Amino acid sequence: MVGAVVATTGLTAGLATSASAAPTIYDPTFTPTSGDLAGAGSDTSEIVLDYLTKGHNGIDGFNAGKSTGRLASFAAGTDPATVSLKGGAAITRPNGSGAGKTLLYGANNNADLDFARSSSTLSAAEISGNLQQAAFAVDGLRLAVSSTGTNAPASISAATMVKIYDGSYKKWSDIPGYAGPAPSAAIVPLIPQSGSGTRSFFVAQLKAANGGNDVALGSAVQNTQEHSDVDVKGNPNAIAPFSTARAKGSTTVTTLTAEGSFAAQRAIYNVVRQADRAGSKGTLIASAFGSDGFLCSTAAKPLIEAAGFDQLATSANGGVCGTFGTADVTNLKTNAAAKQSTTVLSAVAQNDKSVKLTASVSASGDLPGGSVVFSEVVGDTTKQVGGKTTVISGTATITLPATTSGTHVYSAAFTPSSPASYVASSSNKAEATVLKTSAVSAGAVSTTFGQGASIPVRVTADGAAAAGGTVTVNAGGAVSTVAVSGGAATVAVPSTLAAGSYTVTVAYSGDSSTSASSTATSLSVAKASSATSLKLAKKVKASKKAKATVTVKAPGSVSGKVTLKVGSKTVGTGTVKNGKATITVKKLKKGSYKVKAVFAGGSNVNGSTSKTLKLKVTK
């Protein structure tokens, strides 16, 4: 955070502003001397160390009543840009865990700095530099967004977080299932500045969520001051990893806590030189940071909690508070009782006969880390399926390969990585019914308009005749559903289906033991034949017009154009309605004529020609 902030009540002072002040409110109120311990480093723990040294809300801190043997903890940030340690020359203000620790060893060693605040464990180089760390508190890490409005979904999982930070997801709409207000807006992923302990811890979480593989940060990722709200507040597209302790009480940023959201826990350390522990400063270091020191005492607990953290338990209570060493602290047991975890299991059979098992683990609002072992339950016995599965952001998932058809019962057992903080739990029993795989077939059919047709359908389940279910056939919009019996069904096509070629869809519904499936076949409906007959008077006077009656027989209600012909000459036309047409013959000259009726046909019926009749025209 930027060193200059405006003091406010509670934790709202914990977020950075751009106001200028010198010194910062989280710097010591005195200039340390050789009899004091001076420290700097992590932004994450600057407030809690300030409370622990000065006291807070009427509770005395470590320095109460002392004029020597005090702790002087300098704030992180860049404002003011320099600090003076123990009256020496001004140095650049250490901004972050790494920046503090680098002054304790090697070429940058500064004898006026005695400890470094750190929110990440020691690196290999720091261990080689003979540094040691003692944890005293537990912090959480989540993704933070603007509290005044965000386009982010309510939950961003660890897997989604990886794809955002490696650049795979650039817009909100790239996130599967996104239903927020700005799908086309570009995501603005932020990460703390280089040297920040939170950055180191967050990068390690990205790697863990990426199957143990390093995550190359995408081009859209921007550096930001650790735990500063400046780049987050008011920006609906910004996200940043944030200490849960530092975010508590903030009015400008909020963390994503919906089910499935990324969450992690970490120890908070103070780092010293091994040589100082063994030397003249050893007693003072132990009285401040050791397992019997102030930071691990009951007197310090309310000060640590006021800053949003939880105090670690000491070794006497199964914890590691104040235990010096070099290894990453994974025993996060606090002075609070271990929380009971709850494991809820779901089992879903997939279409390929695999089974997806998902265990959701929680503990009084926390998402504890650990592992889950899945088992299949057969009668009174259980058999483990798959290996141990790591819980990430409260969820462990495994997909079992194709298994036998039928109902399978599963259970899950959660083992916490920090048993001192969380109690193990077993899940409910969850059933998954693995369906038989069906296959449906139907033969191609040809018919003629007006005759109808039958489409034979056959259904198998795992190669044998299907036991039940229905098939639904759609032939040119004519939909029929019939029951399957003995793996077979016959579906009638109505005689009224128009002539033409059709793609017929056949869908099998499946049943309680068999999956659904579908296929397609072809149906050809040819035009029907027609028969045309003609009635005409045998003779007519030249001065009169003869009347002809044409009858057309064919399936359905027949209509269409009919023409009277004498040779190739048209002598009359009419329209067939309901199979009949009455036509007036044109006046003809005296003579004998051969007349026939020609029906043109229609969309469903072929044309036809009547027998020729003789017509005699007289004067």
Integer CA distances (angstroms), 467 to 399, 407, 508, 510, in order: 29, 17, 12, 9
Question: What is the percent of the chain with per-residue pLDDT over 90, rounded to a whole number?
Answer: 83
Integer Cα distance of 19 and 106 in angstroms: 35
Per the CB < 8 A criterion, the answer to whether 565 and 578 are in contact is: no
What pLDDT, in 10s, does the model give residues 379-428?
Answer: 999 999 999 999 999 999 999 998 899 999 999 999 998 886 789 999 99
pLDDT of 121 reads 96
Give the residue-averaged pLDDT of 437-448: 93
- At 432, is the pLDDT very low, low, confident or very high (cuts 50, 70, 90)? very high
- At 227, is the pLDDT very low, low, confident or very high (cuts 50, 70, 90)? confident
What pLDDT, in 10s, does the model give residues 489-509?
Answer: 999 999 999 999 999 999 999
Give the residue-averaged pLDDT of 593-618: 95
What pLDDT, in 10s, does the model give residues 256-290?
Answer: 999 899 999 999 999 999 999 999 999 999 999 99
Give the residue-averaged pLDDT of 177-203: 94
Residue 21, pLDDT > 70, answer no
Region for residue 158 given its phi and psi (left: phi exceeds 0; alpha: psi -120 to 50; beta: otherwise): alpha
- At 351, is the pLDDT very low, low, confident or very high (cuts 50, 70, 90)? confident
Per the CB < 8 A criterion, the answer to whether 536 and 501 are in contact is: no
Dihedral sign of CA atoms 86, 87, 88, 90 in order: positive
DSSP string, 231-290: TTTT-TTEEEEEEHHHHTT-SSEEE--STT---EEEEEEEEEEHHHHHSTTHHHHHHHHS
DSSP string, 440-463: EEE--EEEETTT-EEEEEEEEETT
Structural domains of the chain, ranges and CATH numbers in brackets:
37-138+268-325 (3.40.190.10), 140-264 (3.40.190.10), 339-433 (2.60.40.10), 438-526 (2.60.40.10), 531-617 (2.60.40.10)
Per the CB < 8 A criterion, the answer to whether 215 and 203 are in contact is: yes
Dihedral sign of CA atoms 499, 504, 509, 510 in order: positive
Packing angle between helix 158-165 and helix 197-209, nearest 10 degrees? 110
pLDDT of 523 reads 95
- State which H helix or E strand residue 303 sits in: helix 301-306
What pLDDT, in 10s, does the model give residues 118-164?
Answer: 999 999 999 999 999 999 999 999 999 999 999 999 999 999 999 99
pLDDT of 16 reads 45
Dihedral sign of CA atoms 152, 158, 162, 168 in order: negative
Report which of residues 8 and 588 the model is more confident about.
Answer: 588
pLDDT of 19 reads 33
The overall average pLDDT reported for the chain is 92
Helix, coil or strand: residue 47: helix
Question: What is the percent of the chain with per-residue pLDDT over 70, rounded to a whole number?
Answer: 96
Task: Report which of 34, 71, 48, 103 is spatially closest to residue 285, judged by C-alpha positions.
Answer: 71
pLDDT of 23 reads 57
Give the residue-averaged pLDDT of 12-30: 60
pLDDT of 421 reads 78
pLDDT of 494 reads 92
- Beta-carbon count within 10 A of 86 CB: 18
Radius of gyration of the chain, Cα coordinates, nearest whole angstrom: 43
Integer Cα distance of 410 and 6 in angstroms: 55
Integer Cα distance of 66 and 53 in angstroms: 11
pLDDT of 22 reads 46
